[in-house]
Structures are given as C-alpha cells and as structure tokens.
A and B are shown apart, each in its own frame.
Chain A
C-alpha cells in the first residue's frame, strides 16, 4: 500500500526536515503519526499525497512510484488518495452537496462538470456520503454557515465521495472543540472500516492516537523514533518522543484552544 525507502525531504536547500529509512503501511491499517511541532508530521503526509517531492529516495503509494511514474499514473493514484485538512478547506458559498460533489471531480465527465452537471451515479455517491457523515438534513445549506465540526464532516463526505483507497488526515481535529474532535475521529474510523480504506492521520494529542489508531508512528526531529501498536504507547515512549517539549502534550480536555 505505502512504501517509503530512504527518503529525505528538504524545503529549499536547507537541512532535511524529514528523513525516513524505511516505512511500510499495509492496506486497511489505521495509523496515527504523532510527535512534537516541527517533527515532520505534515511533511510526511504531504509526501504521501505527492504535494511534496523528496530530494532522494522512493515513495510508493498504491503501487505507484510518485517520483518517476508518468503523469497519468500519478493522476490516477492522486484520485484514489483523499486528504482531509485541519482547516477543512471547503469551498465557501457552495452547499454541502456541492462541496461533496467536488469529491467526484476526478471521476466525472470533465467538460460536463464545468457546467455543474453531475451524473446520477455522482449524485448517488455524494448523497450516500452525506448520509454517512450525518448531514442529510443540511444537504443544501451553505458550507460556511456550518459549525467547525460539521464542516469537517463535509470534508469527510467529500473524501468519501472520492471513493479513496487511502485517506490522509492532516491534524483533522486540531481546530475543533474536544467533543467534536472525538466525534470526527470516530467518524473517520467508521468510514475507514466501512470502505475498507487505509487511514493515515497526524494527531497532536497522543491520547487521541491511543484511542483511535491501531498503529502509532512517533516522529522526532524528522526521524521515526517509535513505531508500534497503539496499545504499547507508554508514557515512557511519550517522554522520549517529546523530550522536554512537554507543552506539546496538551491534556486532551484542555485542548479546545490548541
């Protein structure tokens, strides 16, 4: 499913911000990437989406080598990898339905979609996704009038409508209230198992990783410092991961403003 070999990522000519020797993620895994700020969590995720090209090494996602595959193969892989952002990144002014239909843009007829025509299948898939995230009653409401938690649900619906094999979530709950955070992560877990997808998410709070992930990868200073089942994530491990950076381990209940 995902295979990283000897990758090094750097922005500009600086020091690498991410250096991973070898990392494999199998289909159906639910992985949380944790670590202090600046450890390279988001970079790793953006690498898997192809938004960031590593300086050296190989990134293989869904059997496609993102570095050397031809553009068409990359585009096909791109379509099967959905990404969810901390800031939702919905299209303001468009409705829940229209935002969800945006997830179909890679599947649907390109020219007809420009006129706003989507096929019956697109509409069926989008509607199923909206029902799945529990927003059926707000289907025609404008996305920017929803609460943060609801907006992230729309983002999940858009990802589901994409029919992805891999779902990436970059700090999906960092801008949400704690109660919404658990809600959204629960939804992500349900969606993942329902669609037999793989889920890779970065999380700020180790406690959430323990609760919602099967496997946890701990990054520190751009390197994999820990990798194991979520159940084995002990406080000792967290101490080595975060070191003196204790302020990064925000107690879950106080994280409303994080």
Chain B
C-alpha cells in the first residue's frame, strides 16, 4: 500500500521536487570553476594580458601595412626578371591540389581495407583490436611531423607531402569507416548470410549499400581538411603554396607573401564550397 500512500501525499498544484537537482547544480558549478582555473593557468603561462595585447597592436598594424598591396603582377619586368608571385601561385595551387587529391585517394584506399578489418562486427577480436590501436597510433602523429619525417627521409618536393597526407588520412578515415560499418544493420548481414552469401558478398551487398554515402562524405571532408593542411606543409619543405609563403617571408618580400596568402584563402574557400555542396547531395 506504499504506492497509494505516496500518491495521496502528492500536491495537486505543483510537481514534486526533483531529487537530482542539487547534485546536477553542484556538478555544473564544479565544471565552471575548473574551466576558469584552467583558463587563468593558461593566461599566466602564455603571459597574455590586455596590456601585452595592446602593446602588440601597432606592430601588427605595421606588418599588415608592409604586406599591402599584394603583388599582383603577372608579367615579368626588367626590374624583376624572375617569375612574379602570382604566376608561381598558379603552379603552386596545382601542386597543392595534386598533393591532397592523391594523398586522400591513397589514404582512403588503405583506410577502406583497414576499416573493414577494424570493424568489430566484421572480424574477430584479435584482428580488430590491434588494428584499432594501430590506427590510433597513426592518427596520433601530427601531419606536419609526418611531413618533416618524410622530407628528412626522401628529400624535398611533392612526394613527402603526398605520403604524409596519405598516412594521416589512413589513420583518420580508417577509424571513421570502421565506425560507419559498425552502425550497419546486423539483421541485413544475417539475412544475406542466410542466402548463402560469403563474407565478401555480405560486405558488398549488406554493408556497402548502407555505408557508402557516409564513406564518400567522410572522404570528401577529409580531402578538404587535407587541402588546408597541405598548404601549411610547405613550412617543412613540401612543394606547394606553403613553400612559397615561407620563401618570401624569409626574403622579407611581404607583398608577395600577401599574394600567396590570398591565393591560399581563395583556393580553400572554393574547395570548401564544392565539398559542402557535394556532401549535401550525398545526404
């Protein structure tokens, strides 16, 4: 009769108090205090203060002033007989695009294979566990570090960039693909097994139709990220836009730096838009 007693004691005008409220509030408060403490700690460590920001302001202004206007000459002149930055930028755009296209494709191909084997619904524990760890290890190396290592190993040029992008994409996409395969409906997998289909046939007909769109969508997004990142890889000697930014900066040729920065931004914006629309159509 406990339930009737409880029911009869209920108020008719207001809901009963929420017993978990105080605990949730304390939790939020603790989180807020911890976040604030972490921010203060970071501000002290980096010596960021309003005065330092204020003092840095004129320098920034002067730097921007030196970059203005960007060097947009297309023809060589007698005063500057070497190739103007805009021309170099056009070639660099092509190289940067090529690096990210090829790197993404190579990485995606490997990731497809490893992703299948790393999906816990497709392979036994002793296959997918070590593979997941391997993919996490690959992911844990920042792409710029990968590029640095490949440049040291095989020299300057576009190839180390392609390899760095490919390896990084392998780690990222392998995990995403595996997760995509894991969310596929297991009922369809069992049903196709019931028709006598083998493992590969089940992958092709039960899994792929369910996962394909997301796989393509992840790959496109990865391509976009790779393009942004491969522009930066020039800092460690990989061919492309970043390399020219670094070269001109070292030569104190700031108008040319500005040209390269603007071209990089335009390229990234354009690819961003193309990928955005392509992914929306995949939904």
Per-position binary interface string of chain A over residues 103-114, scored 1 when its CB falls under 8 Å from any chain B CB and 0 otherwise: 111110010011
Task: Give which listed residue, A94, A106, A113, contacts B209 with CB less than 8 A.
Answer: A94
CA distance A106 to B196 in the complex (A): 4
A151 CB to nearest chain B CB (Å): 12
CA distance A202 to B18 in the complex (A): 46
A197 CB to nearest chain B CB (Å): 15
A248 CB to nearest chain B CB (Å): 24
User: B200 — which chain A residues lie within 8 A by C-beta?
Assistant: 110, 114
> Are A91 and B205 in contact, CB atoms less than 8 angstroms apart?
yes
CA distance A162 to B193 in the complex (A): 12
B172-216 interface (Cβ within 8 A of A): 185, 187-188, 190-198, 200-201, 204-206, 209-210
Whether A85 contacts B191 in the complex (CB less than 8 A), given A75-B196, A79-B196, A106-B196, comes out as yes
Task: Give which listed residue, B188, B196, B204, contacts A78 with CB less than 8 A.
Answer: B196
> Are A83 and B210 in contact, CB atoms less than 8 angstroms apart?
no
> Are B206 and A91 in contact, CB atoms less than 8 angstroms apart?
yes
Whether A89 contacts B187 in the complex (CB less than 8 A), given A75-B196, A106-B197, comes out as yes
> Are B188 and A89 in contact, CB atoms less than 8 angstroms apart?
yes
> Are B205 and A162 in contact, CB atoms less than 8 angstroms apart?
no
> Are A82 and B205 in contact, CB atoms less than 8 angstroms apart?
no
Number of A-B residue pairs, CB cutoff 8 Å, is 66
Indicate whether A243 reaches chain B with its CB closer than 8 angstroms.
no
> Are B195 and A93 in contact, CB atoms less than 8 angstroms apart?
no
A76 CB to nearest chain B CB (Å): 8
> Are B187 and A102 in contact, CB atoms less than 8 angstroms apart?
no
CA distance A123 to B268 in the complex (A): 47
User: B201 — which chain A residues lie within 8 A by C-beta?
Assistant: 105, 110, 113-114
Classify the secondary structure of B's interface with A. helix
Indicate whether A49 reaches chain B with its CB closer than 8 angstroms.
yes
Indicate whether A66 reaches chain B with its CB closer than 8 angstroms.
no
Task: Give which listed residue, A85, A93, A162, contacts B196 with CB less than 8 A.
Answer: A162
User: A92 — which chain B residues lie within 8 A by C-beta?
Assistant: 185, 188, 209-210
> Are A102 and B209 in contact, CB atoms less than 8 angstroms apart?
no
User: B190 — which chain A residues lie within 8 A by C-beta?
Assistant: 51, 89
CA distance A98 to B206 in the complex (A): 11
Indicate whether A153 reaches chain B with its CB closer than 8 angstroms.
no
Q: Chain B residue with minimal CB distance to A46? A: B190
B153 CB to nearest chain A CB (Å): 37
> Are A105 and B210 in contact, CB atoms less than 8 angstroms apart?
no
User: A81 — which chain B residues lie within 8 A by C-beta?
Assistant: 194
A191 CB to nearest chain B CB (Å): 16
Task: Give which listed residue, B187, B188, B197, contacts A105 with CB less than 8 A.
Answer: B197
> Are A158 and B209 in contact, CB atoms less than 8 angstroms apart?
no
A159 CB to nearest chain B CB (Å): 8
Indicate whether A47 reaches chain B with its CB closer than 8 angstroms.
no
A180 CB to nearest chain B CB (Å): 20
Q: Chain A residue with minimal CB distance to B191? A: A89
Whether A82 contacts B194 in the complex (CB less than 8 A), given A91-B205, A105-B201, comes out as yes
Indicate whether A87 reaches chain B with its CB closer than 8 angstroms.
yes
User: A105 — which chain B residues lie within 8 A by C-beta?
Assistant: 192, 195-198, 201, 205
User: B196 — which chain A residues lie within 8 A by C-beta?
Assistant: 75, 78-79, 105-107, 162
User: A106 — which chain B residues lie within 8 A by C-beta?
Assistant: 195-197
CA distance A98 to B209 in the complex (A): 11
Indicate whether A31 reaches chain B with its CB closer than 8 angstroms.
no
B204-252 interface (Cβ within 8 A of A): 204-206, 209-210
CA distance A81 to B196 in the complex (A): 9
User: B209 — which chain A residues lie within 8 A by C-beta?
Assistant: 91-94
- Which 9 A-B residue pairs are closest in the complex by CB-CB distance? A106-B196, A79-B196, A105-B197, A89-B191, A89-B187, A83-B194, A93-B209, A105-B201, A114-B204
User: 21 A-B pairs, CB-CB below 8 angstroms?
Assistant: A51-B190, A78-B193, A78-B194, A82-B195, A85-B191, A87-B187, A89-B185, A89-B191, A91-B188, A91-B192, A91-B206, A92-B209, A94-B205, A102-B205, A105-B192, A105-B205, A106-B197, A110-B200, A113-B204, A114-B204, A162-B196
Further pairs besides A91-B192, A102-B205: 8, Cβ < 8 Å? A79-B196, A85-B187, A92-B185, A92-B210, A105-B198, A114-B201, A162-B195, A162-B196
Interface residues of A, Cβ cutoff 8 Å to B: 49, 51, 75, 78-79, 81-83, 85, 87, 89-94, 98, 102-107, 110, 113-114, 158, 162
